[in-house]
Chains A and B, each alone.
Chain A
């Protein structure tokens, strides 16, 4: 490695960090601008936009709606994903690779196609567009992530733990609830927060599966189509901060998990 390439690389490296963060920083800053007009330079500052959204019943309602969807789909994804992982992880059987590929399928289908196919599927099952359809759609999309994380954790569980439980009289179900499940908790916390974020930030599925009641990203999208305003900045900034806190917390718990095993 010559000195020049090394300097060049460090420049690219720092430029990349700037590229990732500057747009978000600008977005948060613009929410403090004392004018309805989005654009630089910023001459006056105000907190009005941020305080405004916390008094706006409609926005708070949409926030609650998105949150409810995120929580419901997370609970479903965790239950289903764990079951899939407990079946797929430890067992060997013919066609396992096919089942594994099917498990991962929703994660590799491009977003728009996933949304369209779920919309058609919901219509076939006579599920009306709306909250239930979005919850189920998000669940289908999130199950692969839960299954993969839980399978990874499961593979580090020493079989002797289960054997010991069985020797002490526990049957398969009791051994699962008293040994396997507690062992999986850190993975479930991480996967759960990840699901919450995926669901809360999802646009394309919520857009196609939703009724007239928007989730937060759909609302931001609709607002953006009719023009930028500092209000959108304030909403986005709040979403950003919440997401970052939840994400960092989950990452920390996942990291502890990896160290622990």
Chain B
């Protein structure tokens, strides 16, 4: 009898864990929980705001907050505040930018670099993406993308160092050129805009390749065949069919590469030289000295942020896209 009782209890327990008295079941039926949730989830509206409160707080406070704070600091005459003084509002930090070529030059150089590098990355990776999407077998494509992601995951510093080894005076490129008898003395690639360009393309090319690939891969082969049947040559097919249909990929790839390449700091420090000082280095300079240059740094960073985001927005507008789907 006792045995069958415990057996029954066992069955009941096993059943209960499925629908009632598991941890969650106990939680749901406990008085305290019911009392609390009755208050919290009383109305649909209250539930919505409960769910919304933290995400809204987070994106406004933590995502927008630092940017707004930076803008605010850029209008103060001193920051971090020193004891006993009240910071005054001023426009001098923003004005400083226009006063000296030492500041203006890196700014335009950065934008010029970013523009040229974005274009070169596009030209370099387009054939790669096209070949991958149209001429490589399907399962091979996946494999290729997978191995492609390995260098992509490795950080900025490690990859920059890899480029230093490649291009140094005793680097692999100089060794090969010397071996081939093309040069007697090593070519000084390093600390020039060439080494910086190679490095940044190395870092950013995948941000271009992936959007291009996914756009090209979607173009049905039948479109190209139809164009060919109607007498279009290979160039016409490219200009009239492939290129327009890959516009989305070009737009998001270029935007990403542009924004990312303006933001590099360590790479220009390590690969560039005095003649390639970029704006990121200028900005960083204000944060290395004792605190009182922060407002100027903040103003310069604001100038750069406004410029890059505006440029990206204009570009996306020209390409006929809203910024909405950019992250996909």
Beyond A110-B259, A200-B155, whether A120 also contacts B298 by CB under 8 A is: yes
A158 contacts partner chain B, Cβ-Cβ < 8 Å: no
Contact status B162-A120, CB under 8 Å? no
Closest Cβ of chain B to A170, distance in Å, is 7
Partner pick for A83 among B54, B63, B80, CB 8 A cutoff: B54
Contact status B305-A109, CB under 8 Å? yes
B154 contacts partner chain A, Cβ-Cβ < 8 Å: yes
- Measured CB to CB, the nearest residue on chain A to B19 is A168
Bound-state CA distance A131–B124 (Å) is 40
Classify chain B's interface size. Answer: 35 or more
B131: A residues at CB distance < 8 A: 9-10, 12-13
B80: A residues at CB distance < 8 A: 123
Closest Cβ of chain A to B220, distance in Å, is 16
Bound-state CA distance A123–B73 (Å) is 11
Beyond A19-B202, A110-B259, A112-B265, whether A217 also contacts B234 by CB under 8 A is: no
- Measured CB to CB, the nearest residue on chain A to B295 is A120
Partner pick for A208 among B24, B54, B165, B287, CB 8 A cutoff: B287
Interface segment out of the listed A35-43, A47-55, A57-65, A184-192:
A35-43
Residues A117-150 near B (CB distance < 8 A)? 117-121, 123-124, 136, 139-140, 143-144, 148
Closest Cβ of chain B to A218, distance in Å, is 8
Contact status A248-B150, CB under 8 Å? yes
Beyond A40-B172, A87-B55, whether A116 also contacts B165 by CB under 8 A is: no
A84 contacts partner chain B, Cβ-Cβ < 8 Å: yes
Closest Cβ of chain A to B282, distance in Å, is 10
A34 contacts partner chain B, Cβ-Cβ < 8 Å: no
Beyond A27-B162, A39-B168, whether A5 also contacts B287 by CB under 8 A is: no
Contact status B55-A84, CB under 8 Å? yes
- Measured CB to CB, the nearest residue on chain A to B302 is A113
Contact status A124-B265, CB under 8 Å? no
Beyond A169-B28, A174-B24, whether A16 also contacts B161 by CB under 8 A is: no
Contact status B154-A224, CB under 8 Å? no
Contact status A203-B155, CB under 8 Å? yes
Residues A89-125 near B (CB distance < 8 A)? 91, 93, 97, 99-121, 123-124
Bound-state CA distance A221–B284 (Å) is 15
- Measured CB to CB, the nearest residue on chain B to A108 is B259
Contact status B263-A239, CB under 8 Å? no
Q: In the complex, which of the residues B161, B163, B172 has the most CB atoms of chain A within 10 Å of its own CB atom?
A: B161
Classify chain A's interface size. Answer: 35 or more
Q: 0/1 per residue, B190-212, Cβ < 8 Å to A?
A: 00000000000010010000000
B142: A residues at CB distance < 8 A: 255
Contact status A178-B24, CB under 8 Å? yes
B58: A residues at CB distance < 8 A: 80, 83-84, 143
A32 contacts partner chain B, Cβ-Cβ < 8 Å: no
Q: 0/1 per residue, A1-27, Cβ < 8 Å to B?
A: 110011011101100110111111011
B108 contacts partner chain A, Cβ-Cβ < 8 Å: no
* Shortest Cβ-Cβ A-B pairs, 10 listed: A39-B170, A201-B155, A110-B263, A111-B263, A23-B162, A121-B66, A117-B66, A112-B280, A102-B59, A247-B153
Interface residues of B (CB under 8 A from A): 19, 24, 27-28, 37, 41, 47-48, 51-52, 54-56, 58-60, 62-67, 69-70, 73, 79-80, 124-125, 127-128, 130-132, 135, 142, 144, 146, 148-151, 153-159, 161-166, 168-172, 174-175, 202, 205, 234, 259-260, 262-266, 269-270, 280, 283-284, 287, 294, 297-298, 301, 304-305, 308-309, 312, 323-324, 326-328
12 cross-chain CB contacts under 8 A: A1-B234, A10-B131, A41-B175, A84-B59, A91-B52, A111-B264, A116-B283, A121-B69, A123-B80, A224-B157, A236-B158, A239-B154
Known interface pairs A93-B52, A113-B263; 18 further A-B residue pairs with C-beta atoms within 8 A, sorted by A's residue number: A16-B125, A19-B202, A20-B202, A24-B159, A40-B171, A99-B55, A101-B323, A103-B63, A111-B264, A112-B304, A115-B265, A116-B287, A120-B298, A121-B66, A202-B155, A208-B287, A233-B165, A248-B146
Interface residues of A (CB under 8 A from B): 1-2, 5-6, 8-10, 12-13, 16-17, 19-24, 26-27, 30, 37-41, 80, 83-84, 86-88, 91, 93, 97, 99-121, 123-124, 136, 139-140, 143-144, 148, 168-174, 177-178, 197, 200-204, 207-208, 217, 220-221, 224-225, 228, 232-233, 236, 239-240, 243-244, 246-248, 251, 255
